């Protein structure tokens, strides 16, 4: 049975002065059983969020890590530096692919660092609008997965709890979403790609999240799809009402899965 996960990507929002309060408010309003909740604040807010959610069962995640362990990399944060601050990490977000020029190969190196450091990775993939319109969405996502996962042992990644987030770039921050059916089809394609890459039936255990303008108003469309295991949420994750709505709906899916598994 795959978990149901609602992960908040706060991106470059909040400060150490206000992040803890926001995290505490969200924690208090999302206490439904069986939903895995993760908050990924800016790196300078990790300590505040960690302290704010002690005992709440919420995972804290970074939004990136460097591909080297230490050295002359001004402004960067390495995976070992996150010890005690984060237990999850987002990798390969499309905003980093776009703004920091991250390639699939580089993301693959980051993945290795994350896993070595015991961080649970959320690997982001997703196509651009013109790629979808050209009918190439699945090919693009398969190539992103192949590039990032090359050289990684499936058993190691599975033990690390690898999560894949399908985030169509055209849906991020636009108010436009993929349809539940399209997201589900991509989740199937992602697991098929993992199977082809030697994962075998372990591919079926990998959680696949949807991301891109997810809100409390549209989350049900995604959670109604058995292939989708939750959401990676940007803008709406900064709003406690929205988080409460999304986690509340996720709890219904989690309970249904538990019942079906019993």
**In 104-252, beta strands by DSSP E:** 120-125, 163-166, 208-211, 230-233
- The smaller minimum CB distance to ligand 13P, of residues 149 and 209, is found at 209
CB of 164 to ligand 13P, least distance (A): 12
CB of 213 to ligand 13P, least distance (A): 4
CB of 74 to ligand 13P, least distance (A): 25
40, containing H or E segment? strand 35-40
* Residues near ligand 13P (CB under 6 A): 9, 93, 167, 172-173, 211-214, 232-236
Six-digit token pair at 102? 């991250």
- The smaller minimum CB distance to ligand 13P, of residues 162 and 214, is found at 214
**Contact criterion met (CB below 8 Å) for 88 and 49:** no
Closest residue to bound ligand 13P by CB = 234
Six-digit token pair at 165? 């987030």
68 phi and psi angles, rounded to 5 deg: -110, 165
- The smaller minimum CB distance to ligand 13P, of residues 89 and 232, is found at 232
What are the counts of helices (DSSP H) followed by strands (DSSP E) for the chain? 10, 8
Tell me the CA distances in angstroms from 251 to 20, 26, 85, 229, one per residue in order: 24, 15, 27, 11
Count the alpha carbons within 13 Å of 120 in the hemisphere toward its beta carbon: 21
Distance CA 38, CA 84 (A): 15
Say which of 127, 167, 221, 242 is annotated catalytic. 167
CB of 233 to ligand 13P, least distance (A): 5
Q: Angle 137-149/180-194 helices, nearest 10 degrees?
A: 40
Say which of 93, 95, 102, 131 is annotated catalytic. 93
CB of 184 to ligand 13P, least distance (A): 18
Helix, strand or coil for residue 1?
A: coil
Residue 260 burial (CB < 10 Å; 0-12/13-18/19+)?
exposed
Q: Is 221 a catalytic residue?
A: no
Q: Angle 104-116/137-149 helices, nearest 10 degrees?
A: 50
Q: Is 93 a catalytic residue?
A: yes
CB of 234 to ligand 13P, least distance (A): 2
- The smaller minimum CB distance to ligand 13P, of residues 175 and 198, is found at 175
Which residues belong to the active site? 93, 167
């Amino acid at each position: 049975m795959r978990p149901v996960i609602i992960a908040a990507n706060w991106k470059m929002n909040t400060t150490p002065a206000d992040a803890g309060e926001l995290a505490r408010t969200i924690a208090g309003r999302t206490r439904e059983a069986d939903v895995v909740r993760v908050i990924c604040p800016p790196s300078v807010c990790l300590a505040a969020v960690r302290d704010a959610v002690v005992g709440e069962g919420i995972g804290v995640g970074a939004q990136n890590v460097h591909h080297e362990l230490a050295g002359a990399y001004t402004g960067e944060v390495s995976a070992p530096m996150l010890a005690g601050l984060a237990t999850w990490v987002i990798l390969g977000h499309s905003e980093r692919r776009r703004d920091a020029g991250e390639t699939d190969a580089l993301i693959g190196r980051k993945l290795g660092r994350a896993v070595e450091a015991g961080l649970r990775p959320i690997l982001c993939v997703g196509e651009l609008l013109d790629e979808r319109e050209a009918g190439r969405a699945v090919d693009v996502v398969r190539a992103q997965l192949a590039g990032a996962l090359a050289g990684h042992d499936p058993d190691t990644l599975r033990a690390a709890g690898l999560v894949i987030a399908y985030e169509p770039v055209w849906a991020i921050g636009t108010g436009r979403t993929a349809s539940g059916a399209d997201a589900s089809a991509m989740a199937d394609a992602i697991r098929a790609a993992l199977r082809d890459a030697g994962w075998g039936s372990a591919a079926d255990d990998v959680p696949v999240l949807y991301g891109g303008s997810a809100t409390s108003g549209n989350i049900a469309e995604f959670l109604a799809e058995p292939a989708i295991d939750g959401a990676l949420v940007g803008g709406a994750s900064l709003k406690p009402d929205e988080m409460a709505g999304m986690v509340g709906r996720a709890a219904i899916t989690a309970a249904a899965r538990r019942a079906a598994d019993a």
